[in-house]
Chain A
Amino acid sequence: MLILILCTLLIPAVIGSGVLRILYGNEKNSGFHIWDKMITGVITVLFLGEVSHLCSLILHRSFSFFTGLFAALTLVMAGAASATIVCTRRKEKAAPSKAGGGNVLIFAPALLLFGLQTAYILLGTPFLQGDMTVETVNSFLQTDGIYQVNPMTGSPYQGGIPLRLKILALPSLYGGLCRFFSLDPQEVVWRFVPCVTLACFYGAFSCLGRCLFPEDEKKRSCFLALAGLLLWAGNYAVGMDGFDLLNCGWRGTAVRNAILAPWLISLCLRKKRMLAIMCIAAEACMVWTFYGAGVCLAVTAVMAVPDIVRLARTALKGKEAPK
């Protein structure tokens, strides 16, 4: 478990950092936060999982093929990202760092809430209604195949499953983690993944806090603490951020609402369109959407309206000017 936690911290951070450097050049000048790198890394790992999952499905290969391909792609990506970081760091050596250390103590309330919520996830009873992720992961591991048997019964499918469910990568990804680290699917799906989602939730809100209160650390701390309290307060109904995150944080919808949506809003406010597109694609990889058109696409489209209006106005003025 310790190795899993270390890998979860290191690999996404390295990959995310590399991807941001590739997309935006030297990210220190682009105003990216450590959580931007982490979430970018997590999304990139999800993409690698999706590619491996689709390859295994299309080529009718085993689950071992998926895990092998996924591990290879992740290692290659991590290597490439490390190389990018090293190369760009050499170039930027002269550039002074503006990033301040900040007072960690000021975030103590949010950290306390995070600790309590982690304990709740680790000790609580997961909400399983309408979800069969553990059974699916179990069936992948036992049959060494992807969707070879009905996860509900363990017998071969009679009618099959909908294609748009089949293409979602999360069960394979969780199964891969179980196999790499020899862990029980229940531990990974019900305990580990929701804790990662919770950490990324605070990360995403940290990014959003930096957008709303760029100069005021106290306000950011209060914002994070209130977001944490709202998680507790919302722990009463399915579909509320708090309930989904604390009781079923492994589900695609929970990951989307807790990580992708707040992070996407911060990206749209910062006009980081390429990362916003990554969010749209990530949602399509893990949530049953209308051919990829999910919440993230709608949020991006609506939040781009002011820019589109401004561009249209500029264009109209440009046309009118010669008259």
Chain B
Amino acid sequence: MTELFRNAWMGWQQFIETGKLAALLAAALLYLGISGKWKGGTKQRILFRYSTAAALCCIFPVTAVILMVYQTRFYDYYWTWSLVPMTAVTAWAGTEFLNDSWQGFRLKSYRKGLPVTILLLGALALCSGMGRMPFQPEEEGENRRQAQRALADIEQRTDAFPGEVLFWAPKEVQGYAREAYGDLHVVYGRNMWDASLGAYCYDIYAPEIQELYLWMENTDETGTADVDDEEHGKLVLRGEKIMASAAGAGVNCIVLPDRLEPETVKTLAGCIGAETDRLDGYWLLLRGE
């Protein structure tokens, strides 16, 4: 229960930290309340009262926790705000505000209407995330295009791809591979690094498979074939051992980052009797039968 309260409180702080549409909603409710627009009719009255009550319930930790329990705990705090018609109420208040400023949307009232409209649009821009996003669309788009090129290249060079291979690659390629090829088998999926996907199935990865992921990402980052445990100064994962482990799991198509030296790649390929080839930005290792 303490954790739920903490989540509710932290969730609220995060919710108002990234963007300020919640503040705009508060301003909208305040404007509707003070101007008396909410008394315009039964429908307006119901919507105003409902929105105010729902917003307050999402803000106060006790009611927010109840709502979080109601929404199955599977969802994070910010999903409780689905109950609040934030867009609808803000747009309603904005409409009433502009209608008053333009005196019934008459072009003649531009002297007052235009500055107010510009002011409102400015406030809207300030309350938005100002271009901030919870992910990097450009970077992800570029990664996807690169993965697409690499996979198309593999498809051209190998008859067995995608139907008869067990595929292993750096995460930007591995993540894209299953989106693009429904009949491709991969040694681990996107749920290896995207924890939120873990809730969608009961399967868990064996420690050896998790080691494959750790090794590949470390190799992608450092360009070396051995993973060092920086805290203890011990060698944790050796490239040869990992290759043997991958071969043991049945992996027969491996994509390695091209940061690895050609000699290192040759050594790794030799461990499992694979042929090496060059792709755009990657090494390709193919094991025969």
A binds B: yes
- Verify if B115 is at the interface (C-beta below 8 Å from A): no
- Verify if A299 is at the interface (C-beta below 8 Å from B): yes
Which residues of B are found within 8 Å of A212, using beta-carbon distances? Answer: 43-44, 47, 92
Mark contacts of B45-76 with chain A using CB atoms, 8 A cut-off: 1 yes-contact digit, 0 otherwise: 01101100110000000000000001110111
Which residues of A are found within 8 Å of B197, using beta-carbon distances? Answer: 130-132, 152
Check A269–B70 contact: CB distance below 8 A.
no
Which residues of B are found within 8 Å of A256, using beta-carbon distances? Answer: 82
CB < 8 Å neighbour of B179 from A138, A242, A302: A138
- Verify if A262 is at the interface (C-beta below 8 Å from B): yes
Give 18 CB contacts A-B under 8 Å. Answer: A125-B144, A129-B135, A134-B179, A152-B186, A154-B184, A154-B185, A165-B200, A211-B43, A218-B99, A222-B98, A222-B99, A233-B24, A238-B78, A239-B76, A239-B78, A247-B133, A253-B82, A306-B46
Give B residues with C-beta under 8 Å from A. Answer: 15, 18-19, 21, 24, 43-44, 46-47, 49-50, 53-54, 70-72, 74-76, 78-79, 81-83, 85-88, 90-92, 94-96, 98-99, 104-105, 121, 124-125, 127-130, 132-135, 137-138, 140-141, 144, 175, 178-191, 194, 196-197, 199-204
Chain B nearest Cβ from A107, distance in angstroms:
13
- The docked-state distance in angstroms from the alpha carbon of A300 to that of B204 is 39
Stretch at the interface among A272-280, A287-295, A314-322: A287-295
- Verify if A150 is at the interface (C-beta below 8 Å from B): yes
Chain B nearest Cβ from A208, distance in angstroms:
6
Q: A135-B178, A222-B105, A234-B19 are in contact. Are A243 and B134 (CB under 8 A)?
A: yes
- Verify if A230 is at the interface (C-beta below 8 Å from B): yes
Check B129–A153 contact: CB distance below 8 A.
no
Which residues of B are found within 8 Å of A223, using beta-carbon distances? Answer: 91-92, 94-95
- Verify if A240 is at the interface (C-beta below 8 Å from B): yes
CB < 8 Å neighbour of A295 from B82, B129, B194: B82
- Verify if A241 is at the interface (C-beta below 8 Å from B): yes
Number of A-B contacts (CB under 8 A): 222
Q: A125-B138, A138-B178, A162-B202 are in contact. Are A293 and B70 (CB under 8 A)?
A: yes
Question: Chain A: interface secondary structure?
Answer: helix
Check A208–B88 contact: CB distance below 8 A.
yes
- Verify if A40 is at the interface (C-beta below 8 Å from B): no
Check B128–A154 contact: CB distance below 8 A.
no
CB < 8 Å neighbour of A234 from B128, B137, B189: B128
**Residue of B75, B94, B191, B203 with most chain A CB atoms under a 10 A cut-off:** B203
CB < 8 Å neighbour of B125 from A141, A233, A243, A269: A233
CB nearest neighbor in A for B71: A290
Check B91–A227 contact: CB distance below 8 A.
yes
- The docked-state distance in angstroms from the alpha carbon of A233 to that of B19 is 9
- The docked-state distance in angstroms from the alpha carbon of A7 to that of B165 is 38
